[in-house]
Structure 1
């Protein structure tokens, strides 16, 4: 299963060259013209080049490390393609090469999600996760459609990943830092930085939210509860980034989240319980 929120920078100028990188079976598997489909084909091609058959169904999946490394290689290849667009085209056609790459992929055993932008000055499209023992309605009423994440122990039996928080309990949602990769495997949730030329290790480094706000990929509103939006708490986000990058995150850390809430509908969600195998070549 593959999902993408965002867009590949300079898409019409890199599409042909991206296609030339693919083996025939992945190239011919693409039935549409969206950048998301071609990015998935590139991921599958990269997975195969790494020595793994995407059509296979390993008993335990490909493993989170393999999927994570293949995802990083896929992003690197996209960056190489946009970097190679001639300067004359960039100037004459005013091409924007910034790629918004919020990807999600699963082999049915591990889930890999990215929050990424090919810029060191701009914020990526928003991404959050919440973990707990069960996802239930707030009351016992059959008409209640307000859900919340319950946590009865330290395990992460359920993990939700969304573009924006799905509930009003702000302490239940963790903001994934820009240019990082989220790994979900068994009951463990980990966040690692994507270390490339666009990564900023300084927790006080401020990124602009103007680009993603213009594209509607991050909220700049206050909810009915008066909570601040992601765009208005950049300072808080940067000071917590280092602790998120420290390594594996235990579910206890979720309780310390300073992530705001939002009533907007999620654009990108992923649940381990609905994950499916990448058991065959892509069918778009």
Structure 2
């Protein structure tokens, strides 16, 4: 499987989150504690929205090598500041190690990343791809189930209703899987953003989705840890959503409940139940 993080809040250098925490995402690429695999070295990707953007599309950099020794990633992280960014380290579930299979995926202003898999994806891949809007189909560059999930969500109305679009995507995957005799087709934690809000989903057909956590409110953390200088410069809107905690600071991390999704946006963070919908 994979490890990922989504950051939204006070503009920061990417290295502040990617490298500096005790159990940073770069550390997790070698020493994951909660993933199916300890090592996530089958590629990586980062995507970010500029601090003062004249265009609303994110920049995305992806590579097939491991994140822990990539000099270009380190260089970017030391010089790029962003108020909203995604980062992902990959452990392939069977598809090729190639740049077009690395997350995050981008379409227009949207970014998407995923940890998990569609069980039996190869058997149902053609059917799922045929359900993608023909106007979108040629923009699928890779061979992963994750990218097909993204384009199905776009097909089912991601622009207008992200939770509903993801729910209809999962509904189609489960219905298609069941026709192939697969009892529990979907395993996912997903993050998706349009540059203004982040939606994070935790769901599995068998009820046991991979780990997912969100950070506590900054004002609560300051009260708990007045000696932690890093917290002083963060706005109240700052949030992280992560596959596994970046450190052991007491009170910093909260588990996302099974079969739920969260929305991170200025002034309106919320958790909601999640269930598939008919496509």
**Which residue is 2:153 aligned to?**
43
Matches within 5 A, 1:93-242: 97-120=184-207, 123-133=208-218, 150=231, 156-195=236-275
State the shift of 1:32 in Å. 0.9
What RMSD, in angstroms, separates the aligned Cα atoms of the two structures?
A: 3.2
| Greater strand proportion | 2
TM-score of the superposed pair, with normalisation by structure 1: 0.51
Distance verdict in 2 for CA 1:188–1:178, change over 3 Å: same
State the shift of 1:195 in Å. 3.5
Q: Which segments of structure 1 move beyond 2 Å, counting only runs of 4 or more?
A: 131-136, 147-153
State the shift of 1:163 in Å. 0.5
Q: Is the 8 A contact 1:133 1:152 kept in 2?
A: no
CA deviations on 1:75-101 (whole Å, 9 max, x unpaired) are 11211111121x4xx6xxxxx744211
**Which residue is 1:79 aligned to?**
174
State the shift of 1:6 in Å. 0.6
Higher relative contact order (CA 8 A, sep 6+): 1
Aligned length: 164
Q: Is the 8 A contact 1:7 1:101 kept in 2?
A: yes
TM-score of the superposed pair, with normalisation by structure 2: 0.52
2-side partners of 1:158 and 1:149: how far apart?
Answer: 12
Question: Any gaps of 5 or more consecutive residues in structure 2?
Answer: 1-110
Which of 116, 121, 143 is matched with 1:33 structurally? 143
Pick the structure with greater CA Rg. 1
State the shift of 1:11 in Å. 0.5
2-side partners of 1:98 and 1:20: how far apart?
Answer: 18
